[in-house]
Structure 1
Amino acid sequence: MTVLAPDRTGIVKSISETIAAHGGNWLESRMARLAGQFAGIVRVECSEAEVEGLMADLEALEGLAIQTRRESLAGEEHHDFIHLDVVGNDRPGIVRQLSAAIASVGANLEDLHTQLESAPMAGHPLFHATVTVSLPPDVSPGALTQSIETLGEDLAVTVLD
């Protein structure tokens, strides 16, 4: 499910209580507060008999825009995961360029966290991204980093453990 709302105390509490009331299990989530807004993605498991009621009760929660979707349990192809740290001068379109470089080698963007930081001593804005990418079996980490580094000499790409 996805959750969007103006941030306030108790959002996660309301969602988790609704899930528990239907015997559901909170499997994984990503949540953040950004510019006064709350946004989250949550995976939940529950019995087939409770699915429809759980989805209806979640979507009816007051003040929250919740969208639910049933997940397919089909097996996924195995991929290796690589974690990257990307730093460079900020510029319009940098996320578009970064995502295109990742896609160009057939990799999939799994997690992306971006922020602007002040450059040491110079003070101009630096783009900083922490990225998790899934690589198909035939793509090396080196091919991925090389693709990203072609975006500009100012970008530093570090493979994290």
Structure 2
Amino acid sequence: MATFTLTCIGDDRAGLVSDLSGPIRAHGASWNRSQMARLGGKFAGILLIDVPDAAADALLADLAALDSVGLHVTFERTDAVEDAGATVRWTLELLGADRPGIVAEISSALAAQQVSIEELETDVREAPMAGGHLFEAKAVLAAPPGAAADTVRTLLEAIADELMVDISLDAGASAAS
């Protein structure tokens, strides 16, 4: 069995997921995990599939052929099973006035502490009654065993003060994998 991570993007229209899932099913592949969304008039997604080794080349050819219907699919073989090891999971929430650099500042601080971002969801929305826009982020983080949540929280709170955003780091829901 071969495992692939696929990315796809195309102009948003009805039937894109059907176009993508058709060849996956036809070649006996299993659609394991995905995240997809409409962003700026485009439909974009990332997914993880398993396919029998004998069908892999034909499936990849059929997925590449989806360019003809406006869906660009790229793929990367991912033979290694997702192994989070003994990491602990934390959740991060951020809300504040939108401005350039928020993600760069936070992600840089996390990387310096060897904390990985496993999932990240962001949005910009109108600020009610204040005018302007609010930036909102929610993330699932993976920290190494023994990482000090209080140290990371203190670091993030200092950055939050500089960025004028509210940050919440919840390490209470962390669990070893």
1:40 correspondence with 2:45: yes
Q: Percent identity?
A: 35
Checking the alignment, whether the CA contact within 8 Å between 2:160 and 2:166 is kept in structure 1 is no
Checking the alignment, whether the CA contact within 8 Å between 1:105 and 1:143 is kept in structure 2 is no
Q: Distance in 2 between matches of 1:157 and 1:53?
A: 47
Cα displacement (A) at 1:38 = 0.9
- Residue correspondences, number: 161
Distance 1:143 1:115, change over 3 A: same
Which residue of 9, 22, 29 maps to 2:27? 22
Cα displacement (A) at 1:83 = 1.5
Opposite residue 73 of structure 1, the aligned amino acid is A
Q: Distance in 2 between matches of 1:101 and 1:94?
A: 11
Tell me the TM-score normalized by structure 1: 0.91
Q: Distance in 2 between matches of 1:82 and 1:72?
A: 27
Paired residue secondary structure (2:106): helix
Matches within 5 A, 1:60-71: 60-61=65-66, 62=68, 63-71=70-78
State the Cα RMSD in Å.
1.7
Unaligned runs of 5+ in 1: none
Cα displacement (A) at 1:28 = 0.2
Matches within 5 A, 1:36-115: 36-61=41-66, 62=68, 63-74=70-81, 76=83, 77-115=85-123
Unaligned runs of 5+ in 2: 1-5
Opposite residue 147 of structure 1, the aligned amino acid is L
1:155 correspondence with 2:152: no
Query: 2:17 — aligned with what?
Result: 12
Checking the alignment, whether the CA contact within 8 Å between 2:29 and 2:52 is kept in structure 1 is yes
